[in-house]
Amino acid sequence: MKISTSGETSERSPAETAWFALLGIAFVLAGLGLFYGLAVDSMQMISVALITIFVLFAVSMGILIRSEPIRSRENAVIAICVFVAMALYLGLSVFTALPFAVLVGVLFVVGVIVPGLVLQYGVTNAE
């Protein structure tokens, strides 16, 4: 069955579309859990929400790599850096007693700054 949105067609079945919708809802619920954890200052709730987001991100990347033609250097660098940043954050928060600000700093540097620097100053295929 072809699904049409804004002039584009998709070969996804209604079941696949439903799974993608459930994945989106799971991301929203994980985000709400993260917001709630921050609002009540519960590190346990924040950790659970981040682990959930980490797992959902891994599932999403698996789906994208398998089904979408988006394999580019930029997408790979960003995906790897975000995945490593989340893993570092979760590992450091569980196995060390670092302050929250340091953990968020590591998350930001590895997940945002490093991919930007690699994409801006890294070796490209054109060089």
* Tens-digit pLDDT profile for residues 95-123: 888 898 898 899 899 988 998 898 888 76
User: Whole-model pTM?
Assistant: 0.55
CA of 7: how far to CAs of 4, 14, 20, in Å? 6, 18, 20
Run of H or E residues at 5: strand 3-5
pLDDT of 42 above 70:
yes
The residues with which 5 forms a beta bridge, in sequence order, are: 8
Higher pLDDT, 14 or 8: 14
Whole-number pLDDT of residue 5: 54
Higher pLDDT, 6 or 93: 93
**Do 83 and 61 meet the contact criterion of CB atoms below 8 Å apart?**
yes
Q: To the nearest whole number, what is the mean pLDDT of the chain?
A: 81
